[in-house]
Amino acid sequence: MALALPIHNLPMEEPAPSEVFEHDNKTFYNWLLTETERAHIASMLDMETSELKLRGANFLQDRSQCTGCGKHSGMDDFVHNALYAGIHSVEFMKDFLQGKTQQATPYTEHEVVCSRCNTKHEEPKAWLSASEQRTLEQRMQKRQVKEFMGAFGGLVDHCFTSCVDDFTSKALSSRENGCINRCVLKWMATQQRVSDRFQEHNAQLSQQMQN
């Protein structure tokens, strides 16, 4: 980018690891907005942070760290670049982030210039259009509901088979109740451990891809 863009002296904040997932044979990275990013975007667009409902944005590449100052690439850099390079207006960017503006292509790739020190990132980034993001989120939500219902059904079947053996009464015995409680609690603890381990793996994967 030939233009010298203004530099914003932002506090350094380590972003949360991107949420990595596969969809339609593509790998997506959901960049979760940090509070610094959210405040930065809101200030550039002259809006309250509470108005910015965006949780994150899905990209085909993970965040990269600026070689000049160490800031991680973020959605605030894209807003900064678009505004101060004269590519888009404030109103356009507001509409875009709120999903009111449609893109001609589902993936839009741009070079990224760090808004903190004006250093250009080596790798361009491509993000989904707002409409594609909504479609993807809806599909992911449906898949998550389906997966949860499948897991819940499996839990019910497992705990029933393991704990219920007295069919002389409609009510559960105290022993059966205790067994079911332990079964459910152990299942929940296992799910939490798997979730924690998955997040640890995502963080390691993101770090390896940046090195």
Q: Kindly state the tokens that stand for 198.
A: 């998955």
Q: Kindly state the tokens that stand for 88.
A: 């888009």
Look at residues 79, 98, 128 and tell me which one is the last residue of a structural domain.
128
Look at residues 100, 128, 156 and tell me which one is the last residue of a structural domain.
128
**Residue at 26 is within a domain:** yes
The verdict on 123 and 153 lying in the same domain is: no
How far apart CA 167 and CA 204 sit, in angstroms, is: 50
Give per-residue pLDDT as tens, 72-99.
999 999 999 999 988 889 998 888 887 7
The pTM score is 0.63
Kindly report the CATH number assigned to the domain that includes residue 193: 1.10.287.810
Region for residue 24 given its phi and psi (left: phi exceeds 0; alpha: psi -120 to 50; beta: otherwise) = left
**Residue at 73 is within a domain:** yes
**Residue at 177 is within a domain:** yes
The verdict on 27 and 115 lying in the same domain is: yes
Region for residue 30 given its phi and psi (left: phi exceeds 0; alpha: psi -120 to 50; beta: otherwise) = beta
Q: Kindly state the tokens that stand for 87.
A: 């590519």
Give per-residue pLDDT as tens, 142-201.
877 888 898 889 999 999 999 999 888 889 999 999 999 999 999 999 888 887 887 777
When divided into structural domains, the chain yields a total of 2
More confident residue, 205 or 126: 126
- Order across the sheet with 56-59: list the strands: 19-23, 26-32, 56-59, 125-128, 107-110
CA distances from 109 to 72, 126, 177 (A): 17, 4, 56
Could you tell me the pLDDT band of residue 210, with boundaries at 50, 70 and 90?
Answer: low
